[in-house]
Amino acid sequence: MDSMEPDPKLAPFIKPNVLQEQQYRVDGITTISRVPTTDKVVALTFDDGPYRPYTRDKLAILARYGLRATFFWVGTQIKAVPEQAEAVVAAGHEVGNHTNTHPYLTRISSDRIRSEIQTCKSLISDQGAPFIPLFRPPYGFYNSVVMSVAQNLGYLWNVLWTIDTLDYTSPGVSRIVQKVLQGLQPGAIVLMHDWPSQTVSALPAIIEGILERGYRIEPLGSLLGPVIPYCRHLWVASPYLRGEDVVSVQQALLKRGFDPGAVDGVYGPRTAGAVRLFQQQEGLHPDGVVDHEEYQALNVECPAGQPPPYPIYRPDQCRQLQVTSPYMRGEDVAAVQNALGDRGINPGPVDGIYGPQSASGVRAFQQREGLEQDGIFKLDMYPLLMINCPGG
Active site residue 193: yes
Nearer to Zn ion, 48 or 332 (CB): 48
Stretch that binds Zn ion, among 41-49, 208-216, 269-277, 364-372 (CB under 5 A): 41-49
Stretch that binds Zn ion, among 40-48, 173-181, 333-341, 378-386 (CB under 5 A): 40-48
Nearest residue to Zn ion, by Cβ distance, number only: 47
Nearer to Zn ion, 47 or 287 (CB): 47
Least Cβ distance, residue 99 to Zn ion (angstroms) = 8
Nearer to Zn ion, 27 or 47 (CB): 47
Q: Which residues face 190 on adjacent strands? A: 44, 163
Name all contacts of 267-275 with Cβ < 8 Å and 24+ positions apart: 267/241, 267/321, 267/355, 268/351, 268/353, 268/354, 268/355, 269/330, 269/352, 269/353, 271/246, 274/250, 275/249
Q: Provide the CA 29 distance to its chain's centre, in angstroms.
A: 6
Least Cβ distance, residue 102 to Zn ion (angstroms) = 6
Given the residues 93, 98, 102, 193, the one annotated as active site: 193
| 307 within 8 A of 239, measured Cβ to Cβ | yes
Stretch that binds Zn ion, among 46-54, 142-150, 271-279, 374-382 (CB under 5 A): 46-54
Least Cβ distance, residue 103 to Zn ion (angstroms) = 10
Q: In this structure, what is the dihedral angle of CA atoms 31, 148, 307, 245, given to the nearest 10 degrees?
A: 130
* Rounded CA separation 278/82 (Å): 51
Site residues (CB under 5 A) for Zn ion, limited to 122-141? 138
Sequence-ordered list of residues with C-beta below 8 angstroms from that of 75, at least 6 positions apart, any chain = 99, 100, 101, 116, 119, 120, 123
Least Cβ distance, residue 224 to Zn ion (angstroms) = 20
The binder of Zn ion chosen from 47, 57, 116, 294 (CB under 5 A): 47
Q: Provide the CA 269 distance to its chain's centre, in angstroms.
A: 24
Least Cβ distance, residue 48 to Zn ion (angstroms) = 4
Count residues binding Zn ion (CB under 5 A): 3
- Select from 134, 142, 130, 125 the least CA-distant residue to 78: 125
Least Cβ distance, residue 1 to Zn ion (angstroms) = 9
Work out whether the CA dihedral 128, 129, 133, 139 comes out positive or negative: negative
Least Cβ distance, residue 128 to Zn ion (angstroms) = 23
Count, in order, helices (H) and strands (E) of the chain: 14, 9
Omega before 326 within 30 of 0, i.e. cis: yes
What Cα–Cα distance (Å) separates residue 138 from each residue in 178, 195, 289?
24, 15, 29
Residues in the chain: 392
Nearer to Zn ion, 49 or 221 (CB): 49
Phi, psi (rounded to 5 degrees) for 81: -135, 65
The binder of Zn ion chosen from 22, 32, 41, 48 (CB under 5 A): 48
Least Cβ distance, residue 113 to Zn ion (angstroms) = 15
Phi, psi (rounded to 5 degrees) for 254: -60, -45
Nearer to Zn ion, 48 or 287 (CB): 48
Nearer to Zn ion, 136 or 363 (CB): 136
| 44 within 8 A of 204, measured Cβ to Cβ | no
Nearer to Zn ion, 14 or 176 (CB): 176
Q: Which amino acid is at 12?
A: P
Task: Tally Cβ neighbours within 10 Å of residue 198.
Answer: 22
- With binding defined as CB under 5 A, does residue 167 bind Zn ion? no
Active site residue 259: no
Nearer to Zn ion, 2 or 369 (CB): 2
Catalytic residues: 47, 193
Point out which residues bind Zn ion (CB under 5 A). Answer: 47-48, 138
